[in-house]
Amino acid sequence: MKSYPEIYLKPFEEKRIIKGHPWIFKSEIKTIPNNIENGEIVLVRDGTNKKIGIGYINRKSEITVRMLEISSEKEKYYPPEDLKNFFEKKIKNAIKKRERIKNTEAKRIIFSEADNLPGLIVDRYKDILVMQINTLGMEKLKNIITELLIKILKPEIIYEKNLSPVRKKEGLLNFQGVIYPEEKQIKPFFIKENEILFKIDVVSGSKTGFYIDQRENREKLKNFVSGKKVLDCFCYTGAFGCYALKYGAKEITGVDSSKDALCIAEENMKINNFKNYKFICDDVFDVLKSFIKQKEKFDVIILDPPAFSKTKKEKKGAIEGYIKLILFSLQLLNKGGMIFVFSCSHNIDYNDIMFCIEKSREIAGCKIKIIEKLKQSIDHPIVNTIPETFYLRGLTFQIL
């Protein structure tokens, strides 16, 4: 029987890992034998020689080992020759967790570390799978993963979209294209979410073509938009606006700097027979300033910007950006109006968003009431021992 090559941690470095966090940093490792290849699966032992699990290794990355399984000394490990069964079980478990999600043809069926498959993301749009591989270890497992996805889900197409900056840190080049079947071409297509049709362009669109993680937050508009005038900032392909009109909004205005995204937003409105909408292709901050000068007013404003802070170093600038964004929005809000504000940066938490709201409120000289905390959809599970899995946060508040 084959066995995994072994690495050893420094004394006491195993505590965080045993609790459930799957990353092992370079500084925590005592020795890595020279014969171990980058991307290879290794057995990890603690400073007292006890087994703590298996993961794949990459010396080029500060996150040198990403754990695939964290187990006690007594538990058996899948041997190298049985890896296919090991990953089949993981993929089936991930899919099963999403079975209760109804009324949508778009789901994230594998969410990296949250599903014990670090470096792998798979979104499912009807019979089309979009796969993202962000690490060398998972890249080396790609053939096994692809084979299992075909076996379990029988997709029409598997499209690989690997454009994450993490790949560079892993020593990988970017790549995107159809990987199954090889001769197949992929064109934009429509999916249905809560009876609304949305056009998906996996090739040119952001992320895998759609913000699946905002599904449950879009539904929350139902209680607030009937008969209201809605402003959707950073609207991308108009999903929040479509939901607003479905739930009875008087009119919506969508703003985004991407002409291509707004073209799709127009198509989404037309195919759903929605009326009373307009889109503005421009910088959101400039549009908000212009609206303030024109004394425009809205009842509901949605602020869903791209990540202002991708690193801790960028956090200060991100906070300043949010304060400015919320302050402008408060000046455009009718009394009793609502703001939905989101952050998709792991570095910006609820306290940070609350700080920005409070600062903006002070400057604007108004009173507000917090209505609800918001988070990513349940097909993007949050694991309490892995804070990095919790990246999308939002708050809804009302001006009094």
pLDDT at residue 309 in the model = 62
pLDDT in the model for residue 303: 98
Query: What is the pLDDT, as a whole number, of residue 170?
Result: 94
Question: Could you please report the per-residue DSSP string of 37-58?
Answer: PTT-EEEEE-TTS-EEEEEEE-
Q: Which helix (H) or strand (E) holds 143?
A: helix 142-153
Q: Do domains 6-77 and 195-399 have the same CATH topology?
A: no
Token pair recorded at residue 272: 């759903």
Half-sphere exposure of 210 (CA within 13 A, CB side): 30
pLDDT of residue 179: 97
Q: If the chain, 400 residues long, is cut into consecutive pieces of 10 residues, what is the mean pLDDT of each piece?
A: 90 94 97 94 94 95 96 72 94 97 97 98 98 98 98 98 93 96 93 98 94 98 98 98 99 98 98 98 98 98 86 82 97 97 90 96 96 98 96 97
Identify the residue whose tokens are 């890595």. 32
Phi, psi (rounded to 5 degrees) for 336: 85, 0
pLDDT of residue 71: 84
Class of domain 6-77: mainly beta
pLDDT given at position 74: 59
CATH number for region 195-399: 3.40.50.150
Q: What is the pTM of this model?
A: 0.94
Domain 82-180 has CATH 3.30.750.80: yes
Angle 223-339-308 from CA coordinates, rounded to 5°:
130
What pairs with residue 278 in β-bridges? Answer: 253
User: Where in the chain are the domains?
Assistant: 6-77, 82-180, 195-399
Closest CA to 340 of 289, 277, 399: 399
Long-range contacts of 216-221 (CB under 8 A, 24+ apart): 216/377, 216/378, 217/340, 217/342, 217/374, 217/377, 217/394, 218/194, 218/243, 219/194, 219/243, 220/340, 220/372, 220/374, 220/396, 221/247, 221/249, 221/300, 221/340
* DSSP β-bridge partners for residue 254: 232, 279
Tell me the C-alpha distance between 389 and 384, whole Å. Answer: 8
Q: Report pLDDT for 73.
A: 61
What is the per-residue pLDDT for 25?
97
Looking at residue 347, what is its pLDDT? Answer: 83
pLDDT score at 262? 98
